[in-house]
Amino acid sequence: MAAESPSSVRKVVVHLRATGDAPILKQAKFKIPGTDKFAKVIDFLRRQLHRDALFVYVNSAFSPNPDELVIDLYNNFGFDGKLVVNYACSMAWG
Amino acid sequence: MDVLHWDGTLSAKDFKIGAFAFAQKWESHNSGFPPWSWVLCPKHPWLASPEEEGYLSLEKICISRPNEEDIDQISQIDTGEEETSCPGNEDVIDDATLVQSGHHELHYCDFHIVYSSTFRVPVLYFRAYCSDGSPFPLDEIEKQLPACSANELSKSKWTFITQEEHPYLKRPWYKLHPCGTAEWMKLLFLSDAAKPKFDVVLELYLLSWFSVVGQVFGLRIPFKISN
């Protein structure tokens, strides 16, 4: 019997999309294990953009909790074989 | 209403419609939590037909992080839901079934979603207290939050918290400042290539809004709620 089910090594294609006046990343597409948490995507974005305050969301006007698994997000919000993750930089607050 | 030119805000009337839609979806899909209730606050009760204002209320939500002993008890509890929680995440807990050891002090939070006529958006008001009802201050609340929320709180300028008088209850509550809300609500809905119709926006507005503000407290709403 296989020790791991196929889905545990499945990678999800993530496409990072700049919105508002956020800078566009040179490398905007990558693969991430489905079992990783969404927090990894957020952290990646923070490091790439050198910004701490980011507004991150998927289509269907939803902002996922960082604890969500990427594979779950893909299953619910993915299409065309990828998960599109939108990001915007902090706006005028307060 | 032309969604392309929408400014991200809601009228008081639309807030009420959106609030009811949100409460309904929450009740159907979020069985881990009690339902939101609508609290009516007639503006001028002496008039024959008073303007009906109100707010959504969700109270006595346990926000305490379980201590080590309790974690073993939690993992044995089968909540019977098909929640997609990752292992080790004890943040979403059905407090009706949670067994707590006696010496661990529990803290609770009341949440109110109140319409701001100045900003024309919903605002999250909250207050936290101990099991004996004594107030629990903000810096203590922060320690109770899930690690990534506490992190967000310290880093993220958008979760700007102020203490002020609750507009209806006239007592000090905390609120998440609403001045940026319209902008990120606009982004949430208008970034899709397919622009939704306004009645869809209204139906989902509070849900989308809550997916953002709920993260401050680690309050998670299941995805299927937005389908």
Say which residue, A45 or A91, is predicted with more confidence.
Answer: A45
**CB neighbours of residue A70 within 10 Å:** 25
- Asked whether the predicted pLDDT for residue B65 surpasses 60, the reply is yes
Least confident of B39-53, B54-68, B90-104, B136-150: B90-104
% of chain A exceeding 90 in pLDDT:
64
- Asked whether the predicted pLDDT for residue B157 surpasses 90, the reply is no
Q: What ipTM was assigned to the predicted interfaces of this complex?
A: 0.85
Chain A positions in Cβ-Cβ contact with residue B158 (cut-off 8 Å): 53, 55, 90-91, 93
**Residue A21: exposure state from Cβ atoms within 10 A (0-12, 13-18, ≥19):** exposed
Chain B positions in Cβ-Cβ contact with residue A20 (cut-off 8 Å): 183, 187
Contact A13, A84 (CB under 8 A): no
pLDDT, average across residues A70-88: 94
Phi, psi angle pair for A59, to nearest 5°: -70, 175
Cβ <8 Å between B158 and A52: no
**Rounded CA separation A43/A51 (Å):** 10
B151 touches A: beta carbon within 8 Å: no
Name the band, by pLDDT with cuts 50, 70 and 90, for residue A58.
very high
What tens digit of pLDDT does each residue of B173-196 get? 999 888 889 999 999 998 877 788
What tens digit of pLDDT does each residue of B107-129 get? 899 999 999 999 999 999 999 99
Name the band, by pLDDT with cuts 50, 70 and 90, for residue A91.
low
% of chain B exceeding 70 in pLDDT:
71
pLDDT, average across residues B69-92: 47
Region of B80 on the Ramachandran plot (φ > 0 left; ψ -120 to 50 alpha; else beta): left
Cβ <8 Å between A94 and B160: yes
In the prediction, which pLDDT does B106 show? 84
**Across-strand partners of A58?**
A62, A85
Residue extents of the structural domains in chain B: 3-219
Cβ <8 Å between B191 and A65: no
Chain A positions in Cβ-Cβ contact with residue B209 (cut-off 8 Å): none
Say which residue, A12 or B5, is predicted with more confidence.
Answer: A12
In the prediction, which pLDDT does B10 show? 96
